[in-house]
Amino acid sequence: MPVDRNILEVRNWGVIDYQTTFDAMQAFTAQRTAGTPDAVWLCEHPAVFTQGLAGQSDHVLDAGNIPVVASNRGGQVTYPGPGQAVVYPLLDLKRSGFFVKQYVYRLEEAVIRTLSEFDVVGHRVRGAPGIYVRLANPLNHARLDIPAQGRDQFAGLGKISALGIKVSRHCTYHGLALNVVMDLSPFARINPCGYIGLQTVDLYTMGVNITVAQVHDLLHQHLEALLQTSRA
C-alpha cells in the first residue's frame, strides 16, 4: 500500500541523552523501508558538545565536565543543552520530492517563521547554515549587507539556531536546534560551529519569555506546513 506522503508521525522524547537519540535515529534510518512513514522527533538534551564531520578538536576550547560526542551530521562543534528546542525530521527526500538544498531552506524557514511569532527577525548568512539575529535590534527587517572581503560576516549578529543534517539512502536525520532559555556560558567554551568569537543568543535574551514545549509546537507546525508544499 502506498505511503500517505502527508503523514508526519510526531514523537516527543522529552529530555533525553544525545547519544541515545543519535543511536535511535541511525537505527530508524537503517531499518526504514519504502513503506515507513516520515517522522518528526522533538526533544531537549542534557549538556553535551557534539562534533560534526568537519569538526576540529581545537574548536573545543575547554570542555570541562561537559562530554564531547562525535556525530555524523554536517558541520562542526556545537552545544545542545537544557532550554533548547531540538527538532529531528526523519524524512525520505526522494519520496517527498526535495533536493537537499530545498530541504535545508525549509528547516531554516521554519525557524524564521517561529521567530516571527514573537516579532524577532531571523536572518540567513551566506555559507553559514543556521539562523542569526541582529543583536542591537532583533526586530530589524532590513536585509543583511554582504560584508566586504576581510570583514567579519557576523559583526552585530548573534546565532540563535543551529542546523546540521545527515542524509543516508536519500533519508534525513539530525536537524535543527533553537535556543529558547539557556545557560549560554558553555558556548564560550567552544568556537560555535567553528567560528571564533561567534556570539550565541536565545529567545530569552531577545526579551521573549516562553517555554521549550511551546517553541516545539510552533516549530513543528511551521515545519509541517513547509514540508507539505512538495508532499501534496
What amino acid positions are annotated as catalytic residues?
193
Distance CA 225, CA 219 (A): 10
Do residues 128 and 162 lie in contact, with contact meaning Cβ atoms separated by under 8 Å?
A: no
Give the three cell numbers for residue 73. Answer: 551530521
Q: Is 133 exposed, middle or buried (0-12, 13-18, 19+ CB in 10 A)?
A: buried
d(CA 51, CA 189): 13
User: Residue 59 in contact with residue 76, Cβ under 8 Å?
Assistant: yes
Residue 181 gets which letter from DSSP? S
**Cα 142 to Cα 155: distance, rounded to the nearest angstrom:** 15
Length of the chain: 232
Q: Are 71 and 50 in contact (CB under 8 A)?
A: yes
The kind and range of the H/E element at 212 are: helix 212-228
H/E stretch holding 96 reads: helix 93-96
Grid coordinates of 90: 526523519
Joined grid coordinates for residue 62: 575547554
